[in-house]
Each structure stands twice: as C-alpha cells, then as structure tokens.
Amino acid sequence: MASVRGEALDRTVAAARATEGAATASLRVERWQDLDATETEVRWLVRDLLTRDALAFLASHPKAGKSMLALDLAVAVGAREGGTFLGFPVDDHGPALVFCAEDRLPAVRHRLARLHRGRGLVEPSDVRVICESRINLDDPPTLARLRRVVERVRPRLLVIDPLRRVTEADENDATAMAGVLGALRAIQRDFETTVLVLHHFKKQTEGVGEGQQMRGSSDIFAAGDAYLLVEPRREGVRRMTVQLREALPPEPFEYRLEDVPDGEGLALRFERVEPLDADADVRRRICDALAAGPKNTRDLESAVGGNREVVRKVRQTMVVEGQLVSVRGKGKETLFARAPGCAHELGHTLGTRDKTVPAPDAPRSVCPCAPPLRGGHTGHTRVRGAARRRKTCAHELGHTWAHAS
C-alpha cells in the first residue's frame, strides 16, 4: 500500500513539474499584515458554547441521548428569536437542516413535536428534515445533491446523524476519512453554515484524553472547530465537556432530559443541573479511574478529564488524607487506590537499617496498593527470626503487616 501511494505521489510531482512553464495561475500569497482583519471577534451560534460557521462534532457512547440533543439544538436555532440551549443564549437564528439516518421519519416528527412543546413554542421552529434513508458523501452525484439542498435552504445549522451513515470509508483510515471530512468542511465554508456531525466514542476510553475518545482516525478529532463530548454521570444526568478552536470553552457542566406533562402528553425539555459536589465528583472519577489499576499522574488526569488543576488539587488532597498512595520513582509519580488493611492505613513505618522489628504472627501477603519490588521481592528479609526493613513504609515495599508491631 505504501509503495502504491509513493508511486502516485511521484506521478503527481512529475505532472506538476511538467506544467511549471505553462501559463497557469500561481497560489495567492499576501503579507500577514495585509490579510483581512474585519472578523477579529468570535461569532457565536450558541453563545459561549458553539461558534458560528464551524465544523463541530457531538460525540458520546451509544444511547446517551445525543440525537435528541441535536434535534433540540435545531429547534432552538430554527426558532424566530431568543431562547437558550442548555442554558446558553442562542445568538444566530435561521433554518436548521437535519439528516437522521437511524430514525424513522414518524419518530423524528414525534420527537420534534415534544421538544417544541417542552420549549413552549407556539409557532413551529424552522427545521427542515432530509427524507432520504441514506446519503453517501463518497459518491460525487449524491454530494452534489446535498450541496444543492444546502444552497437552496441556506441553513444556519446542518445536522448529520451519524457520521458512520454518510460514508463507506474506513473510519480508522486517515486517507479515506479525509475525503468525507473535506466535503463537510467545504459545505461549511461555501455556505457559511455550522455543520454538526454526530459520532460515537470508542468502546474502551479509559486513559484516553478528551476528544481522543472518538472512534476512528485521530484526523476526526483534528478536523473540527468544536467538540461537544457527552458522558453519563448519575441516573438521567449527562456531563458535557466542550473544546473550541477559536474561543475559551465553558467549564464542564451537567444536564438532563425531563419529561414535562402538558395537555397533549409528555413534552421534552433539556435542563442544566448543578453537580452534587464538584470535588466529590472528581474524587469519584479518580477512584473509578484507579479501580482497574495504578496510573501515573498524566494518565490519571487524562482518564478523569475536566479541569486538570482541579483534578490535581483533589488528587493531592486524597493522598494527604490517605485515600490514595503516591509512589515516586524515575521522575514519575504513580497513584494507587488504597487497599483495606494495608500497613500505611495503620500509620506504621517499619524500622531503619540498624533496627529489627519482630515479624508478625499472621500470614504475610503482597499489598494490592503497590507492586512488589523488582523480581517479586517484597522487601522482607529474615535476620535471626526478626524482620529487617529499610527506612521506608511497608506499603512502598509491597508488604502487608497484619498489625502494627
């Protein structure tokens, strides 16, 4: 495959060299100070959440409600004026165009009606639905048809739900995905619209940085201007983390979808909710991340997500309180979840090189807080029926003492 691509590149370079003498237009080049300076301020579709005229991605694990969330955004943008989305003001209103490849049209209509009622809208929001069962953006005629629709409707928002249903390309192939991502970027630029693409997380996201949780090639994460990343928190509550290319994102926040009784049945409404306790939530996520095993500080912060300074502060507090064990070595700090019954939990530091401590009567075992020393050695040696220890706490040596002796 690499040799085929290399030959294709050689042919392209040779063809370019052959046309150097022809009367062809060169690339446009200007000094940086002569570039257009009219658009220096960030323009928002949803203030402080989603920039205008952006290629954006809304991603989560399956069944996290992102399709409903995207429809609610379409309703908010398509409303005549005012309104909010997840508590953020909508600054740019106009038609919204949606393609829901995985839902039947009656289901889409029913969801939109419930979202309208949940917002208390009297007049229908300007939401247009593409009624095709499939769109393949790898197919030039199909792409041309989509572009004609966008040119006619001129939507402020185009929703593609999901990415997997508009391409036959291998998501893990950066070269293959470049085509469909380029087509979406061209629509965004040519028609000055925000394109929101729904995508899935990988099955295993533990220890993966924010944005890198998305399935497929890393080019998907590199291609966008905005990323709305959704994770489940507690029952019915979701947590959104935002990444923006051109502006500072908001702090991660939580929301839920509520059923609202009305005269016509149950309406739907998204509402922001206050976290139970910011530090408590971080503590829980740290414990969840360490449940599968120890991690160095960098991997732990990536797995926990959110504001790294907050995570670092809470982590240090948990070490001081004894909830975590910190072991330093080779320039790294490794964190372990505390194991019940470990010697460090007893606050017991064993003796120095010139002091012996009686060995406990109870059986010894390897402490699950920390790995054994090199070669499986637990740091325990017999000296005339006594245990001689180096000047360090028992848990760092990987040894559990049954009692403080």
Q: What angle do CA 50, 256, 285 make, to 5 degrees?
A: 85
**Predicted pLDDT at 368:** 45
Strands (E), 7-54: 44-46, 50-51
Instruction: Judge whether 41-273 and 278-337 match in fold.
Output: no
Quickly state the pLDDT bin for 200 (edges 50, 70, 90). very high
DSSP state of 7: H
Domain spans, the chain? 41-273, 278-337, 343-400
Instruction: Quick: pLDDT tens for 319-365.
Output: 888 788 888 877 788 888 876 555 444 333 333 333 334 334 333 33
Quickly state the pLDDT bin for 276 (edges 50, 70, 90). low
Instruction: Quick: pLDDT tens for 375-391.
Output: 333 433 333 333 443 33
More confident residue, 237 or 181: 181
- C-alpha of 223 from chain center: 14
More confident residue, 402 or 335: 335
More confident residue, 74 or 219: 74
Q: Is 119:75 a contact under the CB 8 Å cutoff?
A: yes
DSSP state of 81: S
Q: Would you say the C-alpha torsion 302, 304, 308, 312 has a positive or negative sign?
A: negative
Does the domain at 278-337 match CATH 1.10.10.10? Answer given as yes
Provide the whole-model pTM: 0.65
* Angstrom distance (rounded) from CA 193 to CA 158: 7
Please state, as a whole number, how many other Cβ atoms lie within 10 Å of the Cβ of residue 284: 15
Does the domain at 41-273 match CATH 3.40.50.300? Answer given as yes
Residue-wise over 253-279: b if at least 16 C-beta within 10 A, else e? bbbbbeeeeeeeeebbbbeebebeeee
Strands (E), 138-252: 157-161, 194-200, 226-232, 237-244
Instruction: Tell me the two tokens of residue 251.
Output: 């702090």
Which of 137-141, 182-186, 269-273, 322-326 has the lowest average pLDDT? 322-326
DSSP state of 250: P
203 - beta bridge partners?
none
* Angstrom distance (rounded) from CA 334 to CA 343: 18
